[in-house]
């Protein structure tokens, strides 16, 4: 009788281990889901932030400028692939003048999804990029009367 | 008694695991499409509220081919009830629509990862586990 109970106990423990191990991948895919969806949301918010700044500069006319500092728009953190083994936004953020959209690309290769893209609409079409200067730091958006100039490194924001 | 219950419990575990993974994949697809994201070579759909209202498990074992019967014991179709605004519907039926296909493919991808540790299944719309064949479908509600 005692032997039978011991055998049953061993089988029960072994059975539980088999079940728990089978759920290992399930746990990991939930982690990847949470991370990827969170990063995608962050990427979309970046696009919306930039779009808002561009549209604001356009609406307020010549001389108006907006500065998006590193506490608002941190390219290092956005593109950071190593911190939690995620794959962040694909930089540069591309502004399509013809289509009047900001194109955000988020890599989902960690979850077999390739690149996912979102387009955020903007109002002005006359947009150009220039390298940051002492007067206009990284990610300053300025209306110079003739159009919108975005002061940003080309590896961060590109206006082809 | 454990030995008697063991095979049944393993079968139920497999089914529950696939259902959980499918739900996660569908949530993933719905969330990204809802934010306006699209995959490469996939049609762009405006952002909006994409909601998985319900998930049903439909047994379709009677439709297994003879070859499949030697491979698996049953075929389950995981059917999603999806709610989206009308402007996001590019097709009349959910299963063929852009949003529907994203949800279906991501579900199968997640089931494949849950069982085999690989995000890319052999077939985008079906996966075979030890005991089951899983496919997906969806309906607009």
Spatial separation of the C-alpha atoms in residues A97 and A105, rounded to whole Å? 17
List the single residue in A with minimal CA-CA distance to B6.
A15
**Is pLDDT at A54 greater than 50 in this prediction?**
yes
Contact B114 A29 (CB under 8 A): yes
What is the average pLDDT score of chain A? 85
Contact B110 A25 (CB under 8 A): no
CB A29 within 8 A of CB B26: no
Tell me the per-residue pLDDT of B62-80, one tens digit each, with 9 for 90 and over: 999 999 999 888 999 999 9
Contact B1 A8 (CB under 8 A): yes
List the single residue in B with minimal CA-CA distance to A120.
B36
Contact A116 B39 (CB under 8 A): yes
Mean pLDDT along residues B107-133: 93
**Is pLDDT at A1 greater than 80 in this prediction?**
no
Q: How far off is chain B from A58, nearest CA to CA, in Å?
A: 24
What residues of A are in contact with residue B3 (Cβ under 8 Å)?
11
Tell me the per-residue pLDDT of B42-57, one tens digit each, with 9 for 90 and over: 888 999 999 999 999 9
**3-class state of residue A67 by DSSP:** strand
Residue A36 token pair: 């990827």
Element (H, E) at A37: helix A24-60
Tell me the per-residue pLDDT of A62-121, one tens digit each, with 9 for 90 and over: 999 999 998 888 887 776 644 444 556 788 899 999 999 999 988 887 777 778 999 999
Contact A40 B32 (CB under 8 A): yes
Contact B3 A11 (CB under 8 A): yes
Angle value at C-alpha A104, between A147 and B113, nearest 5 degrees: 180
Tell me the per-residue pLDDT of B121-141, one tens digit each, with 9 for 90 and over: 999 999 999 899 999 999 999
**How many beta carbons lie within 10 A of that of residue A22, not counting itself?**
15
Reported ipTM: 0.81
Count the alpha carbons within 13 Å of B39 in the hemisphere toward its beta carbon. 18
Q: pTM of this prediction?
A: 0.86
Residue B11 token pair: 């079968």
Q: What is the pLDDT of residue A83?
A: 47
What is the average pLDDT score of chain B? 91
Contact B27 A33 (CB under 8 A): yes
Hunting for tokens 């991370």 — which residue is that?
A35
Q: What is the pLDDT of residue A84?
A: 46
Query: Least CB-CB distance to B37: which of A29, A33, A118?
Result: A118
Show which residues on chain B lie within 8 Å of chain A, measured between beta carbons: 1-3, 6, 9-10, 13-14, 17, 20-21, 24, 27-28, 31-32, 35-40, 44, 47, 106, 109-110, 113-115, 117-120
Residue B52 token pair: 């998985």
**3-class state of residue B138 by DSSP:** strand
- List alpha helices for chain B, DSSP H: 2-34, 66-71, 98-116
**3-class state of residue A8 by DSSP:** helix
Q: How buried is A141 (Cβ within 10 angstroms: 0-12 exposed, 13-18 middle, 19+ buried)? A: buried
Most confident residue range from A6-10, A33-37, A135-139, B12-16:
A135-139
Mean pLDDT along residues A136-151: 94
């Amino acid at each position: 009788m005692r032997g039978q109970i011991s055998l049953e106990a061993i089988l029960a423990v072994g059975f539980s281990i088999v079940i728990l191990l089978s759920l290992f991948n399930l746990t990991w895919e939930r982690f990847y889901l949470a991370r990827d969806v969170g990063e995608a949301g962050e990427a979309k918010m970046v696009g919306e932030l930039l779009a808002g700044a561009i549209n604001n500069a356009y609406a307020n006319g010549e001389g108006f400028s907006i500065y998006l500092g590193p506490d608002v728009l941190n390219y290092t953190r956005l593109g950071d692939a190593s911190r939690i083994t995620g794959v962040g936004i694909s930089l540069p953020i591309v502004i399509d003048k013809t289509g009047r959209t900001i194109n955000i690309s988020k890599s989902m290769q960690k979850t077999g999804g390739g690149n996912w893209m979102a387009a955020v609409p903007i109002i002005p079409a006359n947009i150009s990029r220039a390298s940051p200067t002492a007067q206009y730091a990284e990610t300053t958006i300025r209306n110079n009367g003739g159009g919108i100039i975005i002061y940003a490194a080309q590896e961060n924001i590109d206006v082809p | 008694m454990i030995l008697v219950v063991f095979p049944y419990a393993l079968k139920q575990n497999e089914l529950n695991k696939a259902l959980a993974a499918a739900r996660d994949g569908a949530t993933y697809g719905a969330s990204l499409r809802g934010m306006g994201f699209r995959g490469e070579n996939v049609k762009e759909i405006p952002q909006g509220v994409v909601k998985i209202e319900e998930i049903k498990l439909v047994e379709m074992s009677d439709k297994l081919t003879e070859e499949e019967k030697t491979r698996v014991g049953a075929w389950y179709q995981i059917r999603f009830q999806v709610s989206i605004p009308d402007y996001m519907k590019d097709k009349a039926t959910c299963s063929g629509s852009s949003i529907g296909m994203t949800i279906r493919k991501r579900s199968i991808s997640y089931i494949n990862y849950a069982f085999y540790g690989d995000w890319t299944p052999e077939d985008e719309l079906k996966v075979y586990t030890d005991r089951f064949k899983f496919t997906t479908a969806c309906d607009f509600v």
